[in-house]
Chain A
Amino acid sequence: MDAITKLTGPVLVLEQENIDTDQIIPARFLTATDFDGIGDHLFADWRLDSNGEPKPGHVLNEARARRSPILVGGHNFGCGSSREHAPHALLGFGFRVVISSQIADIFRSNSQNVGLLPVVLEADQHATLMQMDGEEITVDLEQCEVIARTAYGPEHRWPFSIDPFARHCLLRGLHRFEFLDQAEEAIVAFEENR
């Protein structure tokens, strides 16, 4: 898992609310037994036609899409199925950060487990960001802050909160399993005392 500390890059905005994991990665792409190449199927039904060719005009097919490390989605991003294929597909496509005003529980923990940073902003901050498609922002996990500079407006510095342990692991690229592994004594004690 690659560490993520501070990242600056253009945002790609998907205005739709309630973007569910079936949109992010449709079920027919879940039969693989690894996650290799899954990014090619990201939002397949939105951006590809029935022959698998890119639909002209879809924002995800613009050249900039794969160069945008930060995805901003409408409220309640990642709802639905528990498929970890969803954050893997976003990572595989080139995203490192997903920002919304609400992120679904299972998707959030899956993202943290695989190295995709989920950021939840206040509604008004999120609304401002939704108007900044293509503009460059900075997401600073050290400071837990999103820094957005608009060409004509003020500089925004928006603090966000994140589970401290998830932050610790993402900053260092650590797998959460190592922490669990170190708790072996406590697990054995629990099993013996039941």
Chain B
Amino acid sequence: MPAPESLFDKLWGSHLVQAQSESTPAIIYIDLHLVHEVTSPQGFDLLREKGIGVRRPERTLATLDHSTPTLAPDADGKRPYYTKQAQRQVQTLRDNCREFGIELHDWDSPYRGIVHVMGPEMGATQPGMTIVCGDSHTSTHGAFGALAFGIGTTEVGHVLAKQCLLQNKPKSMRINVNGRLAEGVTAKDLALNIIRHLGMNGGTGFVIEYAGEAVRSLDMEGRMTLCNLTIEAGARAGMIAPDETTINYLRGKARVPEGGAFELAAAQWLQLASDPGATFDSEITLEASTMRPAITYGTDPGMSIDIGDTVPLANTVSHQKALQYMGFEGGQQMSERNVDVVFIGSCTNGRISDLRAAAKVLRGRSIASHVRMLVVPGSESVRRQAESEGLHETFNAAGAEWRLPGCSMCLAMNGDLVAAGETAVSTSNRNFEGRQGSGSRTLLASPETAAASAVMGRVASVSDLETREVC
């Protein structure tokens, strides 16, 4: 009998080109390389320096997302890039893709979007694959039972040139989440609860497999949100074994096999689940039913509380510094916090289910007069779907701005900024100092919480909003 293997062991083993030795790392093969404008230019330079091409252009897929404006072009078709340099960066990717024969989803593509939204939508992301991108939120794709992680630009060059990476095998961790999430508690809340439990560095050195009833009960978009945020606990990759939910999501997608070939592939994908008796370097178990909608109060994603709770008292210098930056006092009620900006979008929560959830809260309501709210679909596909359902009208009617797809205010490099001193409730993934603009203060939360906070003009859960309206 072969030893029982985990999902991660199977993915690692099936992509091993050359085993790790005492003095050298393993070489692993990469099935899908996703590329965007920010972390790729210097990677392409390696190819020019070596006088070589992209080894597997058909395994490489590029999009424009980080530096792109989310406002519409002017009457002359000119797009409002934040800086000339941003425009040049976009043009550089365009030039590189043309020179090296890579499929680029440019402005005219019906698929263009945030790299981690687009890949799954196209069916390019599939179970059993190794997937990399010069972007730490590549962990998103692990939701499909893929080994997916972020790499640096030097490694982008390596994958372009050789379709391979040098890697030491990380340690493995399984997080079992038993029971069911209560009504109104989302995948984002689950993820924030897990990061709170692990701490922002508790996953360092690990690949995490999420398991248990609460994880299995998530739809694919919820699973992507959960895996997306794995890096916020320090782990490069998070993954969930493929099941019927995975297969039903993928059936009919553009890039997956059709008909009998799909069913054959699906049968193989189901074999990827961790074997009974598979071992992990670390294993923890959490209970879902006690989790409540969460929101961050500090400057790392591990610093979150339930919305009804008070901000914890500072117990370290770093904690005190975080509270000071955020303008919080220990012991303060979170729900007293005034909100200036609300952002719905990003590779964490910019999918159609996220927009539907936000629109459901906003329908028939208006955002507070002092709040500025941006809703940024994760991709053109999400935008089309949302507009076909009339969600954009709900957002506009409530007083929010409906924008074009992109990373936008998540990292604020395209000019979508939160001003210094302002507080944003954001559905994105990082609340680091200045993440959404110099001096900006970010509270991470679910789309539901973000929308409720926009209406109330202060931090609020959906149930807070409903309670107030009944009174």
Are A22's CB and B151's CB within 8 A? Answer: no
**Is there contact, CB below 8 Å, between A22 and B430?**
yes
Contacts of B6 in A (CB 8 A): none
Closest to B316 in A: A17
Which A residues between 83 and 99 are near B, CB-CB below 8 angstroms?
Answer: 83-84
Taking a contact as CB atoms under 8 Å apart, the answer to whether B152 and A110 are in contact is: yes
Q: Which residue of A lies closest to B410 (CB)?
A: A27
Q: Which B-chain residue is minimally distant from A110 (CB atoms)?
A: B152
B367 touches A (CB below 8 Å)? no
Known: A106-B236, A113-B152. A26 touches B438 (CB 8 A): yes
Complex: chain A residue closest to B134, CB-CB: A82
Choose among B201, B205, B321 the residue with the greatest number of A CB atoms under 10 Å from its CB.
B201
Bound complex: CA A114 to CA B67 (Å): 24
Centre residue among B234, B318, B412, B432 by max chain A CB count within 10 A:
B432
Q: In B136-171, which residues have CB < 8 Å from any A CB? A: 136, 138, 150-155, 157-158, 161-164, 166, 168, 170
Q: Is the CB of A23 within 8 A of B434?
A: yes
Query: A-B contact count, CB below 8 Å?
Result: 168
Q: Which residue of B lies closest to A190 (CB)?
A: B17
Segment touching B, from A54-62, A121-129, A147-155, A176-184: A176-184
By a CB distance below 8 angstroms, the chain A residues around B85 are 31-32
The reply to whether the CB of A187 lies closer than 8 angstroms to some CB of chain B is yes
B258 → chain A closest CB, angstroms: 21
Which chain B residues lie closer than 8 Å to A84 at the CB level? 39, 42, 134, 152-154
Closest to A194 in B: B29
Which of B86-94, B173-181, B282-290, B463-471 lies at the binding interface? Answer: B86-94
**Docked-complex contact A15 and B154, CB < 8 angstroms:** no
Q: Is A186 an interface residue (CB 8 A)?
A: yes
The answer on a CB contact under 8 Å between A187 and B163 is yes
CA distance A106 to B201 in the complex (A): 12
Is there contact, CB below 8 Å, between A165 and B204? Answer: no
Residues of chain A contacted by B89 (CB below 8 angstroms): 31-33
Bound Cα distance from A191 to B162, whole angstroms: 11
Complex CA distance for A35 and B157, rounded to whole angstroms? 15
Q: Are B413 and A76 in contact (CB under 8 A)?
A: no
Indicate if the CB atoms of A82 and B411 lie closer than 8 Å: no
Indicate the member of A31, A76, A104, A106 with the most B CB atoms within 10 Å: A31
> How many angstroms from the CA of A106 to the CA of B420 in the assembled complex?
29
From B134, B166, B231, B434, give the contact of A26 (CB < 8 A): B434
Chain A 98-118, CB-CB to B under 8 Å as 1, else 0, gives 000010111001100110000
B20-28, B245-253, B452-460 - the one binding chain A: B20-28
User: Among residues 411 to 449 in chain B, which have CB atoms less than 8 Å away from a CB atom of chain A?
Assistant: 411-413, 420, 430, 432-435, 438-439
Chain B residue nearest to A34 (CB atoms) is B42
Q: Is the CB of B201 within 8 A of A76?
A: yes
Tell whether B300 is near chain A: CB-to-CB under 8 Å: yes
Say yes or no: A45-B433 contact (C-beta < 8 A), given A33-B89, A168-B23. Answer: yes
For the complex, give the distance between the alpha carbons of A120 and B30 in Å. Answer: 29
Query: In chain A, what residue has the closest Cβ to B155?
Result: A113
CA A118 to CA B419, docked complex, whole Å: 34
A140-180 with Cβ < 8 A to chain B: 163-165, 168, 176-177, 179-180
A109 to B155, CA, bound (A): 9
Quick check: is B368 within 8 A (CB to CB) of the other chain?
A: no
B438 close to A50 (CB less than 8 A): yes
CA distance A163 to B170 in the complex (A): 12
Cβ of B126 to closest chain A Cβ, rounded Å: 14
In the bound complex, residues from chain B placing their C-beta under 8 Å from that of A113 are 152, 154-155
A110 to B: closest C-beta gap in Å: 4
A12-31 contacts to B (CB < 8 Å)? 15-18, 20, 22-23, 26-28, 30-31
- A76-B234 contact in complex given A23-B432, A105-B204, C-beta closer than 8 Å: yes
Contact of A105 among B38, B153, B154, B236 (CB under 8 A): B236
Among the listed B17, B67, B151, which residue makes an inter-chain contact with A82, where contact means beta carbons less than 8 Å apart? B151
Nearest neighbor of A113 in chain B, beta-carbon distance = B154
The residue from B25, B162, B166 contacting A187, defined by CB atoms under 8 A apart: B162
CA gap between A163 and B22 in the complex, in Å:
9
How many angstroms between the C-alpha atoms of A34 and B25 in the bound complex? 28
Question: What are 15 A-B contacts with C-beta separation under 8 Å?
Answer: A18-B300, A22-B430, A22-B435, A26-B434, A50-B420, A76-B200, A79-B201, A81-B135, A81-B430, A109-B151, A113-B152, A179-B24, A180-B27, A186-B27, A187-B164
